[in-house]
Chains A and B, each alone.
Chain A
């Protein structure tokens, strides 16, 4: 049943944790793991290969969105029916994959993993940034989502076929919402667990204030066409 489910992990300099994350996903019953090494400077590729993942390597760093798209293209070549994108920094819970895939099998085209923003350990800045992004996405695409920036999502074959992403950087997560609106895809939001480890927090600082603003501008500049 899980043979046609592919897990795509865009990874940039995740050598320290990637092996554990892949092991966790495999333990949860998903053996088709595709790691897109987005031009890392460390041993991400080697560690991922040793852990048993299929590694696709970008020669240059092109951003999370570009890496996710490369991963999705790879799954299409390998004949996937369901694709789950999963962050490589260990912030997601592998056992949640099963729930996302379940809804795809029930007929949803896209399942959006949704973090619980009422939790205390989530930094205030993150809550605010997410709220602002959600409001703008609602105003422009008329789709209300509780977590527009989550990287943990599942896609059906149809969704993979119609969703066309052009954003290379972090704003690809918002672009998915745009594509959902554009193609009127049947989507479901599902609460997921998130681990805010010191490691993932440090990593997340890449999504800083400036890149947040950039995402916002891209949302405004590229409404549904």
Chain B
């Protein structure tokens, strides 16, 4: 098996991030929940495996019934990412609306007192 520089780089980055996250969780840093740790570990372990054994992607593709071509898999990935972005945008908009509501109520307190 011939390993390229990109593969080594990607593997090192994912190993570093996995180590860093576990360390942070063990140090009980604020905002490091078990859910966050598991999701980070899942994503970066997948990156680590794919960078070291790129052929696994073809194996998964075949198992899923896409055959040898990866395009549908990449396409599905894009759709998931876009859906996530839209979800995040709608959450942010909702938050903005709430902030405005609170700011407005606070601003109108004085007016209500004047009455």
Residues of A within 8 A of B (CB): 36, 39, 54, 56-60, 62, 66, 69-70, 73-74, 77-78, 166, 168
Contacts and interface: CB of A to CB of B under 8 A. Distances in A.
Nearest to B112: A77
B37 to A, nearest CB: 33
A77 B99 CA distance: 21
Interface of B: 96-97, 99-100, 103-104, 106-108, 110-112, 114-115
Q: Which of B100, B107, B108, B114 has the largest count of A CB atoms less than 10 A from its CB?
A: B107
B108 A77 contact: yes
A73 B107 CA distance: 10
Contact of A56 (B96, B97, B110, B115): B110
Given A62-B103, A78-B111, 6 more contacts: A56-B108, A62-B100, A62-B104, A66-B103, A77-B115, A168-B100
Contacts, number: 44
B99 A56 contact: no
Given A77-B112, A77-B115, A70 B96 contact: no
Contacts of A56: 107-108, 110-111
A66 B98 CA distance: 12
A153 B99 CA distance: 26
Nearest to B104: A70
Contacts of B106: 59
Contacts of B114: 54, 78
7 shortest A-B CB distances, which residue pairs?
A74-B111, A66-B100, A56-B107, A70-B104, A62-B100, A58-B103, A77-B111
12 contacts: A36-B107, A54-B111, A56-B107, A56-B108, A56-B110, A60-B99, A70-B104, A70-B108, A77-B108, A77-B111, A166-B97, A168-B97
A187 to B, nearest CB: 26
